[in-house]
Amino acid sequence: MKTDQQTFCPSAQPDWQGAKVFGVVGGTPDAPETAYLATPAPVSDELLKLADPVAPDEVFRIAAPCACSGCGHFDSAQSSCTLAQKIVRWVPMVSESLPVCGIRSECRWWQQEGRAACLRCPQVVTRNLMPTDAMRDAANPELR
């Protein structure tokens, strides 16, 4: 898989190379809210065990180099992330100010969509068992 080492996905899986935890999902199941870490922490077995008994991507926000064409959300022609585009178009804002986020300078969603992505980002859960209709549609790579 050819990744972009300079550009990070803010909805990555824990087993991706270079993965680091940059947020912890709190809130409620139907209104999740990410608390961003001041300093992202490299993924380790010990860290992932803290998610027990649920899957790490239910409670951790994890960043890793964007998978680019290895990801179903990547538009190779535009070199862009359609997931970020759809979240900005379809999902409502949940913040009025930019979250303090430890990966902003390298985040693909920020680089591509700017502030509009960050104002929606706190509600993102990588493994979301109770997505809103808008979030479910945004996460469906078949919908553009």
Return the amino acid letter for 61: R
Range 90-129, binding ligand SF4 (CB under 6 A) = 99, 101, 103-104, 107-110, 117-118, 121
Phi, psi dihedrals of residue 123, rounded to the nearest 5°: -90, -5
CA distances from 137 to 29, 41, 143 (A): 18, 30, 7
Burial 36-50 (b: 16+ CB within 10 A, else e): bbeebeebeeebbee
Between 52 and 109, name the residue whose CB sits nearer to ligand SF4.
Answer: 109
Q: Choose which of 83, 91, 138, 139 interacts with ligand SF4 (CB under 6 A).
A: 83
Least distance to ligand SF4 from the beta carbon of 46, Å?
23
The answer to whether residue 60 forms part of the interface with ligand SF4 (CB under 6 A) is: no
Range 20-59, binding ligand SF4 (CB under 6 A) = none
Spacing of C-alpha 76 from chain mean position: 19
Q: Which parts of this chain interact with ligand SF4 (CB under 6 A)?
A: 9-11, 66-67, 71, 73-74, 81, 83, 99, 101, 103-104, 107-110, 117-118, 121
